[in-house]
Amino acid sequence: MKNLLLAVLVSGICTALYGQKEDSALIKRISDEILTNGKAYENLRHLTKKIGARLAGSPSMVKSEQWGLKLMQESGADKAWMQECLVPHWVRGGEDSAFASAAIKNRPLDIVALGNSTGTGPNGLVGQVLLINSFDELEKKKDEVKDKIVFYNYKFNDTYINTFLAYRDAGQYRGQGPSRAAKYGAKAVIVRSMSHATDNNPHTGATRYDSSYAKIPAVAIGLRDADWLAMQLQNGMIPEIKVSLKTNGHFLPDTIGHNIIGELTGTEFPDEIITVGGHLDSWDNCEGAHDDGAGCVQTIEILRAFKAIGYRPKRTIRFVLFANEENGLRGGNKYAEEAKANNEKHILAIESDAGGFTPRALGFSGSEEQFQKFLSWKPLIAPYGCNELVKGGGGADIGPLNRALKTPTASLNPDTQRYFDIHHARSDVFEAVNKRELELGAVNMAALIYLVDKYGL
């Protein structure tokens, strides 16, 4: 009996060790394939340089969808299709401009209208600028706000090591700032860009109007110009500074967009679905290389690498380029709706939407038992860069799936230091992406997908 127990034990250990060795070897094959023959970088070059900015509703959205579908097919998807959804159609409508009256007459300010914002109209508007450093200060000065242009100069907090915390902190000024100022009668808003870049590029992003108040024009301003403007106002040397603003943003009727979906159909459990994706749309003022061209080409690279090494998944893997993350999330919502309507069984969804930078962690949200299983794979994944497996994972596009079906969600967490230098700014270009960093992101996600495919969750 003792011997039998020992034999079972030894056999169990051997199987486990053998399994781990086999897993380690297969993950290395995936990694070698991606790092040696990877196509993600050249695919990103095409997406950013040949197609470029691709906001929902724009002609280049359509081009990028066609590109994505073709690439899914060429990369070896068993099937590939477009999943239709209505998307909002906000357009910038022309060039944004701003000039300050102080110091130098008509000093230009580097600004960009916030996404979804209302334009000033072709004649522009002129207003005295009121410097507001925080919402607390806004409340204190609410009686001074009427007919002014409120300039929120809330700083991106440099002391956070994870820059996404600084973004969450400062982001409320972009999201809520316009309506909170409109509540007290402001005629427009200028928001300090959510960034700690050393340049002056303004950073856009969606604002959210509160329907209780007037929808007033709102722009983001570059950091150097924000500092200049604040200094003028703080010094009090100049009694008042007026800014003339011209923006032309407006909504056209909703139009048709698509999620682009490729699939490797599972050989043993085709009904169990693992989703990996990024979002195909980008803001209109940049190439959207990191946000989120990177996530798209990484997604397709995983498909390509699985096919290239001849890996046939047991479960079904869906490779998804989501529509309209930036200013509507209609693609993510549609994907979840259809999954629910079709009674699909989704066992994991993972998203890459934090830039194509060097991978550092994988985040995971699911049950404690699932998290422990996820954690047990750390020795297999850590050698490829994600040496932290942490609680809390997901992404905007896969959030609806999680809410609809309680699907566990994961995220690729790259290093965050460079992301907000370029996020939603004209500097989010192909040249800011490093080939190997981009590829390693795909490697780490592919490793996790392989393990979930093999062992379930």
- Binding to its own copies by CB under 8 A, coded x per residue (else -) over 389-428, reads --------------------------x-xx--x-------
CB of 380 to its own copies, least distance (A): 13
Q: What is the DSSP letter of 426?
A: T
C-alpha distances (whole Å) from 185 to each of 50, 216, 297, 325 are 44, 10, 45, 31
Closest approach of its own copies to the CB of residue 361, in Å: 9
C-beta of 198 vs 372, nearer to its own copies: 198
3-state helix, strand, coil in the chain (%, to 5): 40, 25, 35
Position among 67, 154, 306, 384 found at the interface with its own copies (CB under 8 A): 384
**CA 433-381-47 angle, 5° bins:** 25
Which C-beta is closer to its own copies: that of 137 or that of 415?
A: 415
Using rule CB under 8 A, residue 388 touches its own copies = yes
* Beta carbons within 8 Å of 174's beta carbon, 6+ residues apart: 114, 191, 194, 205, 206, 207, 220
Locate all alpha helices (DSSP H) within 75-127, ordered by sequence: none
Nearer to its own copies, 86 or 390 (CB): 390
Inter-axis angle of helices 2-37 and 435-455, to 10 degrees? Answer: 150
Residue 235 binds to its own copies (criterion: CB under 8 A): no
Closer to its own copies by Cβ: residue 93 or 383? 383
Q: Are 96 and 113 in contact (CB under 8 A)?
A: yes
Residue 436 lies near its own copies (rule: CB under 8 A): yes
Spell out the residues 6+ positions from residue 264 whose beta carbon is closer than 8 angstroms to its own. 76, 77, 78, 303, 306, 307, 312, 313, 316, 317, 319
In angstroms, give the least distance from the CB of 451 to its own copies: 18
> Is residue 240 part of the contact set for its own copies (CB under 8 A)?
no
The CB-of-371 to its own copies minimum distance in angstroms stands at: 19
d(CA 343, CA 177): 40
**Among 31, 153, 316, 407, which residue interacts with its own copies (rule: CB under 8 A)?**
31
**Tokens 């110009």 — which residue?**
225
Position 440 contacts its own copies (CB under 8 A): yes
SS3 90: strand
Which stretch in 216-224, 259-267, 381-389, 392-400 sits in contact with its own copies by CB under 8 A?
381-389
Q: Does 385 bind its own copies (CB under 8 A)?
A: yes
- 218-221 vs 188-192, strand pairing mode: parallel
Catalytic annotation, pick one of 325, 326, 351, 439: 325
- Binding residues for its own copies, rule CB under 8 A, total 27
Helix (H) or strand (E) holding 350: strand 345-351
24 binds its own copies (CB under 8 A): no
Q: Which of 76, 93, 185, 383 binds its own copies (CB under 8 A)?
A: 383
Interacting stretch for its own copies, rule CB under 8 A, among 19-27, 270-278, 315-323, 378-386? 378-386
Q: Residue 271: is the preceding peptide bond cis (ω within 30°)? A: no
Q: Which is nearer to its own copies, 265 or 387 (CB)?
A: 387
Residues in CB range of 49: below 8 A, 6 or more apart: 287, 430
Instruction: Supply the minimum distance, in Å, between the C-beta of residue 430 and its own copies.
Output: 11
φ and ψ of 132, to 5 deg = -130, 120
Give the helix ranges, DSSP H, for 184-286. Answer: 223-235
Q: Which residues contact 341 (CB under 8 A, 6 or more apart)?
A: none
As measured in angstroms, the least distance from the Cβ of 290 to its own copies is 13
Q: What's the rounded Cα separation, in Å, for the pair 73 and 199?
A: 40
State yes or no: is 325 an active-site residue: yes
* Least distance between its own copies and beta carbon 390 (Å): 11
d(CA 351, CA 330): 16
Q: Closest separation between CB of residue 358 and its own copies, Å?
A: 5
Subset of residues 116 to 175 that bind its own copies, contact rule: CB under 8 A: 158-159, 161, 163
Helix 294-308 × helix 2-37 angle, to 10°: 120
Nearer to its own copies, 88 or 295 (CB): 295
**Which residues within the stretch 314-333 sit at the binding site for its own copies (CB under 8 A)?**
none
Residues from 335 through 374 that contact its own copies (CB under 8 A): 358, 360
Task: Please report how close the Cβ of residue 435 comes to its own copies at its closest, in angstroms.
Answer: 6
Nearest-angstrom CA–CA distance, 245 and 239: 20
Nearest to its own copies of 106, 159 (CB atom): 159
Query: Which parts of 193-222 interact with its own copies (CB under 8 A)?
Result: 196, 198
When the beta carbons of 3 and 36 are compared against its own copies, the nearer one is: 36
Residues that bind its own copies (CB under 8 A): 31-32, 35-36, 41, 158-159, 161, 163, 196, 198, 358, 360, 383-385, 387-388, 415, 417-418, 421, 434-437, 440
Supply the residues annotated as catalytic: 325
